[in-house]
Chain A
Amino acid sequence: MSKVQKRDIPIAICFITGIIVLFAYYIRNDTLGTTASILTSWNVIVYAIASCLGAVTLYRYHISHIVKRTKGKWVFSIILVGVMTAFILVGLLTSPNSPVFIDMYNTINRPLTTGAMSLLAFYIVSSAYKSLRGKSWEGIVMLLVASFVMFGRIGLGAWLSPVFPAIKDWLMIVASKAAGRGLIIGISMGTIIFGIKTLIGYETGWLGRLQEED
């Protein structure tokens, strides 16, 4: 692939679409607004095509494990390929809004994702245990702040003294927000500069490193 295909064309596409969407945000013009809206809606089409690519890469990866009988993987690969094929076939033969497809989604996908999400509670406890040991000055500050916030949030803290909810509120509204806003300002500056560099083709890390001869 030549440098033009690898670098110049993606940068040109990025610049033209970026400039249109950017100016449509600032300037009141129907043509510009409609064009920006159309370009933004293309994201759905790109996502749909990319999803097909994703399905193909998943099939390729898992079918290779099934064919090779990769130890510890091939059985799971059969399950994944089977379930994915069933969902695709039912979705194509009926419709994503059909009762069969919705029942499949609600009885297979939803319990699994909810179950996986609920594991988060246990991870919060174990990470809190590790983080709040107070072995360093930062750890002690974190432990104290977390203790006051937790104590202020539960009923026992408020029952013992109104000071605990007040301390919690101050930590959340004043201390945490002040630090957070400082970070947000920095992040916003970084995002704008990164956006400008990407738009004008200075930031090319997302295109990969190029050899001199490219």
Chain B
Amino acid sequence: MSIFYEGRILPMIIFFAFAIGLFYFIRRIKAGILPRIRSIPAVDAIPEAIGRAVEMGGAVHYTSAMGMLVHASGPETLASISILGYVASLCAELGARLIVSIRNPQIIAMTTSVVEQAYRVAGKLDNYRQEDIRFLSDSQQAFVTGVMGILERENVAVNMDIGTLWAETLQIFETGARVGALQIGGTARMMNLSVVVAIADYAILGEELFVAAGYISKDPVMLGGVQVQDIAKLLIIATLIIGVILTSAGFDIIQKILRI
């Protein structure tokens, strides 16, 4: 009996190959070989959107929506909180009021800490409002009703719904559109990506959510991750093409390798 579970050897090899690739590209970037990264319009729009909120005297609303720390939505939630840190620092520097709505009680402490830290680093701790970091409810519909109430009542000029988005996305963005807020959405969930693209003014699409933190910070470590991701995608495309050709020719070698 193998010490490895059947069908999980190749995923393990891929995982460690990614980790090695990450270290390699970080070293390259630190040595001065910088990658070229395409722009992400939705992330580029964030400073402009917050500037708009300041000019209009309105608030910036941010939510990680249905984000949890477990299962597949964990990375999405952490990526969303990273973006929230950037949004909070811009709000602190530009003087915009930031309202954060929370659905999952597990991220209350993390969210509060990230926002408070952003205001502290900007030297604007006096402008930090603890009461604007709001836990609404862990029930989806109670949460979305609370968010809709905030959008209607609190003069929100910019609405950002980034993270694990479920059916509530439509209700949040439709209410945001009704109050005339500029809207930025982002998710890695296929089901609601189309809703974000259709309604939000700017959309962070799929993998862009995980790249956004690196794109914002221009940190070599983060940029190294983007390079590994791109090379991995090229390898997958090559595997797909070779797999299609070989399978069509009657060879199942690729399927056998993928089942290791």
Binding site for B on A (CB under 8 A): 22, 25-29, 40, 43, 46-47, 50-51, 53-54, 57-58, 61, 64, 72-73, 109, 112-113, 116-117, 119-120, 123-124, 126-127, 130-131, 142, 180, 183-187, 189-198, 200, 202-203, 205-211
- CB-defined contacts of B69 to chain A, threshold 8 Å: 43
- CB-defined contacts of B4 to chain A, threshold 8 Å: 26-28
What does the 1/0 interface line of B105-123 toward A look like (CB < 8 Å)?
A: 1101110011111101100
- Cα separation A119 to B147 with both chains bound (whole Å): 14
- CB-defined contacts of A113 to chain B, threshold 8 Å: 139-142
State how many angstroms separate the Cβ of A6 from the closest Cβ of chain B. 8
Residue of chain A at shortest CB distance from B104: A50
Task: Name the one of A53, A131, A196 contacting B18, with C-beta atoms under 8 angstroms.
Answer: A196
- CB-defined contacts of B211 to chain A, threshold 8 Å: 190
Whether the Cβ atoms of B78 and A206 lie closer than 8 Å is yes
Whether the Cβ atoms of A198 and B78 lie closer than 8 Å is yes
- CB-defined contacts of A202 to chain B, threshold 8 Å: 22, 26, 221-222, 225
Task: Name the one of A61, A187, A196 contacting B206, with C-beta atoms under 8 angstroms.
Answer: A187
Task: Name the one of B22, B82, B193, B217 contacting A196, with C-beta atoms under 8 angstroms.
Answer: B22
Task: Name the one of B104, B118, B228 contacting A208, with C-beta atoms under 8 angstroms.
Answer: B118
- Cα separation A109 to B174 with both chains bound (whole Å): 24
Whether the Cβ atoms of B121 and A183 lie closer than 8 Å is no
Q: Which of B4, B145, B188 has the most CB of A within 10 A?
A: B188
Whether the Cβ atoms of B210 and A193 lie closer than 8 Å is yes
27 interchain pairs, CB-CB under 8 A? A25-B5, A25-B8, A26-B4, A26-B12, A28-B1, A43-B69, A43-B70, A47-B106, A50-B105, A54-B105, A54-B138, A58-B135, A61-B134, A116-B145, A126-B174, A127-B173, A127-B195, A130-B198, A189-B207, A189-B232, A190-B210, A193-B22, A193-B225, A202-B222, A205-B78, A205-B83, A210-B121
Residue of chain B at shortest CB distance from A132: B198
- CB-defined contacts of A200 to chain B, threshold 8 Å: 19
Q: Which of A112, A126, A130, A202 has the most CB of B within 10 A?
A: A202
- CB-defined contacts of B210 to chain A, threshold 8 Å: 187, 190-191, 193-194
Interface size on B, residues (CB 8 A): 80
What does the 1/0 interface line of B79-115 toward A look like (CB < 8 Å)?
A: 1011101100100000000000000111011100111
Q: Known contacts A113-B142, A127-B170, A206-B78; decide if A185 and B190 are in contact (CB<8 Å).
A: no
State how many angstroms separate the Cβ of B250 from the closest Cβ of chain A. 23
Whether the Cβ atoms of A190 and B188 lie closer than 8 Å is yes
Whether the Cβ atoms of A196 and B75 lie closer than 8 Å is no
State how many angstroms separate the Cβ of A197 from the closest Cβ of chain B. 6
Which secondary structure dominates where chain A touches chain B? helix
State how many angstroms separate the Cβ of A155 from the closest Cβ of chain B. 25
Whether the Cβ atoms of A208 and B141 lie closer than 8 Å is no
State how many angstroms separate the Cβ of B200 from the closest Cβ of chain A. 11
- CB-defined contacts of B105 to chain A, threshold 8 Å: 47, 50-51, 53-54
Whether the Cβ atoms of B3 and A120 lie closer than 8 Å is no
Q: Is B165 an interface residue (CB 8 A)?
A: no
State how many angstroms separate the Cβ of A59 from the closest Cβ of chain B. 11
Residue of chain B at shortest CB distance from A50: B105
Q: Known contacts A27-B3, A196-B18; decide if A206 and B110 are in contact (CB<8 Å).
A: yes
Instruction: List the count of A-B residue pairs having beta carbons below 8 Å apart.
Output: 186
Q: Known contacts A43-B70, A54-B108, A57-B108; decide if A189 and B229 are in contact (CB<8 Å).
A: yes
- Cα separation A40 to B121 with both chains bound (whole Å): 34
Residue of chain B at shortest CB distance from A115: B141
12 extra interface residue pairs, beta carbon distance < 8 Å, beyond A72-B153, A202-B221, A205-B217: A25-B5, A26-B4, A131-B198, A131-B199, A183-B207, A189-B232, A190-B207, A194-B78, A197-B22, A205-B86, A207-B114, A208-B116
- CB-defined contacts of A124 to chain B, threshold 8 Å: 170
State how many angstroms separate the Cβ of A211 from the closest Cβ of chain B. 5
- CB-defined contacts of A117 to chain B, threshold 8 Å: 141, 167
State how many angstroms separate the Cβ of B67 from the closest Cβ of chain A. 11
Q: Which 8 A-B pairs have the closest CB atoms?
A: A205-B82, A208-B117, A190-B210, A54-B105, A190-B207, A50-B105, A186-B207, A116-B141
State how many angstroms separate the Cβ of A78 from the closest Cβ of chain B. 15
Q: Known contacts A28-B3, A43-B70, A131-B199; decide if A191 and B75 are in contact (CB<8 Å).
A: yes
